Amino acid sequence: MTLSPITSLPITRRKASLVLASLTAACMLPLGATSSAQDTQAQRIVSIGGSVSEIVYALGEEDRLVAVDTTSIYPSAARELPSVGYMRQLAAEGVLALNPDLILAITGSGPQQTIEVLKAGAVPYAEVPEGYSEEAVLAKVNAVAKALGVSDKAGALKAKIAADFKTTREAIEGANSHPRVMFLLSAGGGRLMAAGTHSAADAVIRLAGGANAFGEFEGYKPINAEALVAAAPDYIIAMERPGVHPIEEIRKLPGLELTPAGAGSDRLIPVDGQALLGFGPRTATSLLRLSKDLGIIAD
């Protein structure tokens, strides 16, 4: 019998190390463990994605967490856990080194090569769907609760979230004011980055009852002072960041004084990015607060 020659494929050191890490983790698992199921509930969970980790805490299952990513900043106890790095810059070695028995990750985590290695490994990998709506938040809760084996706990949390969204929705129904709102992602070095459609920020603006001042493009794009003036936002919102007060950055924007938003400091609004844009348990109540800050509903 003649054997067919094996085709030789180039393997980079990086790829080789990722594969080795995956195989090493597989060897550390008990016999019989698979990437799809285990005989007992996972007790060593790595959670990737701020809203995912927040849901784990909201379900009362935080004692099973052994690590989170850097976007997992709420509640404050999450920041005390070991970190696997930023959700889009993960290293398989770093995740697997924690010897997890479940990896819980939001869709969009990366890089893709790392995710492929993790999914192909022996450690169960549960992907939580991302989305920017009430339905998406409820779907996240379902996915996390199912992966944790506590679907019975999902009902109460989903009921609260749905009630919060209903309160916000009813509050803005019939509102006569729909101000033009600009979401400023960053203004570092004078380079402005604004949010267009098909983004979490755009969804937040619409759900709060406003209109996106930059609804003519998709995603997040750089703009200049002329574009800012032409967009004529009534309000500008920006995320609070550690050590940086966004309002101070906004006040320095060239052309701001030529827009309605430049008419007063109450038109420049700092927001908690994770609470509002994370589309997790706190998003609905954060939307209600934003609606009040935008003058859409009475405070």
Do the strands 268-271 and 125-128 form a parallel or antiparallel pair, or are they unpaired?
A: unpaired
* Residue 7 DSSP SS3: coil
**Burial class of residue 298 (count of CB atoms within 10 Å of its CB; 0-12, 13-18, 19+):** exposed
pLDDT at res. 191? 75
Strand partners, 223: 192
What are residue 298's phi and psi, to 5 degrees? -70, 145
The answer regarding whether domain 180-293 maps to CATH 3.40.50.1980 reads yes
> At residue 274, what is the residue type?
Q
Q: 113 is written with which tokens? A: 């090569």
Under a CB-based contact definition with an 8 Å cutoff, are residues 21 and 77 in contact? no
The answer regarding whether domain 18-161 maps to CATH 3.30.830.10 reads no
Q: Going residue by residue through the chain, which has 299 residues, state the pLDDT in tens, using 9 for 90 and above.
A: 333 333 333 434 444 444 444 444 444 443 333 333 344 689 999 999 999 999 999 999 999 999 999 999 999 999 999 999 999 999 999 999 999 999 999 999 999 999 999 999 999 999 999 999 999 999 999 999 999 999 999 999 999 999 999 999 999 998 888 999 999 987 666 678 999 999 999 999 999 999 999 999 999 999 999 999 999 999 999 998 766 678 888 888 889 999 999 998 899 999 999 999 999 999 999 999 999 999 999 88
Strand partners, 5: none
Chain region(s) in the chain for CATH 3.40.50.1980: 18-161, 180-293
Do the strands 192-195 and 220-223 form a parallel or antiparallel pair, or are they unpaired?
A: antiparallel
Flag whether the pTM goes above 0.75.
yes
pLDDT at res. 83? 98
pLDDT at res. 40? 64
The closest alpha carbon to 64, from 127, 123, 148, belongs to 148
Q: How many CB atoms lie within 10 A of CB 66?
A: 18
